[in-house]
């Protein structure tokens, strides 16, 4: 293997680390409501499967990624994911079947979010690979432990500082705003500096506001149901 291969490998690893910060946030958000014994499994499975998805997406031509409205739809889906990640999880009855269901739901969320967010990332990764599929797979595979470490670190921060959860969800809203503006059909609007600077922050605020409001409603409903079950309210 020549020096060009090793340089390309380092470039792919570097690009993937830089572009995977928001993915690590999603993984941590999706795993935070799981029991501690399942958090590690969700992080490892989600990270590995997300890398496989990225390899597949990178083989898709840039012309497909440039389809009109593709990134617009992706941005709306990312807003929805961000809001959902702020909502309280289902109450656990302790059964093994429900625990397994929670784990798979977390993995599905990780994969879905990574699929949407990778629409922009894969172009940069493909450019670094220079058409070498072996180089691409090897570089992304080496990146898995780094993403797992980042997700684990963020998860610990969320446990210690709950406010980080809203910041993480807000980041998804911000990324959604940037993705929305990168859609080819919105070229005319992207030229306006005020729009370019404002839309990502609107996305972040929308996710935090909607997620907080919906979470409060769900928690209030659950408290009322428990009070009714306990005979405190008729």
User: Could you read off the pLDDT of 133-164 as tens digits, one per residue?
Assistant: 777 777 767 767 777 788 888 888 888 888 88
Is residue 65 scored above 70 in pLDDT? no
**Confidence bin at 233 (pLDDT 50/70/90):** low
Print burial letters for 130-160: b (CB count within 10 Å at least 16), e (below 16). Answer: eebeebbbbbbeebbeebbebbbebbebbee
User: How much of the chain, in percent, has pLDDT values that exceed 70?
Assistant: 72
CB 70 within 8 A of CB 183: yes
- What are residue 177's phi and psi, to 5 degrees? -65, -40
More confident residue, 29 or 59: 29
Q: What tokens appear for 162 in the block?
A: 């709950």
**Confidence bin at 91 (pLDDT 50/70/90):** low
CB 30 within 8 A of CB 110: yes
What residues does each domain of the chain span?
3-229
DSSP 66: T
Residue 57 confidence (pLDDT): 73
Is residue 22 scored above 50 in pLDDT? yes
Mean pLDDT of all residues in 19-43: 79
């Amino acid at each position: 293997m020549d020096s060009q291969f090793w340089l390309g490998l380092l470039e792919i690893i570097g690009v993937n680390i830089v572009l995977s910060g928001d993915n690590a946030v999603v993984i941590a958000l999706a795993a935070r409501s799981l029991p501690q014994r399942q958090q590690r499994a969700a992080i490892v499975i989600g990270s590995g499967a997300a890398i496989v998805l990225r390899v597949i997406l990178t083989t898709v031509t840039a012309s497909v990624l440039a389809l009109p409205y593709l990134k617009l739809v992706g941005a709306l889906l990312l807003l929805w994911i961000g809001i959902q990640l702020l909502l309280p999880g289902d109450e656990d009855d302790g059964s093994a079947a429900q625990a397994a269901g929670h784990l798979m739901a977390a993995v599905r969320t990780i994969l879905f979010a990574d699929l949407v967010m990778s629409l922009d990332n894969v172009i940069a990764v493909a450019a670094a690979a220079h058409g070498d599929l072996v180089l691409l797979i090897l570089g992304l595979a080496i990146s898995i432990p780094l993403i797992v470490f980042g997700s684990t670190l963020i998860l610990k921060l969320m446990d210690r500082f709950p406010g980080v959860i809203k910041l993480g969800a807000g980041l998804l809203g911000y990324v959604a705003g940037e993705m929305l503006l990168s859609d080819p059909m919105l070229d005319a609007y992207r030229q306006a500096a005020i729009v370019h600077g404002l839309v990502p922050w609107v996305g972040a605020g929308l996710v935090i506001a909607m997620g907080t409001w919906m979470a409060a409603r769900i928690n209030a409903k659950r408290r009322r149901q428990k009070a009714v079950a306990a005979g405190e309210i008729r």
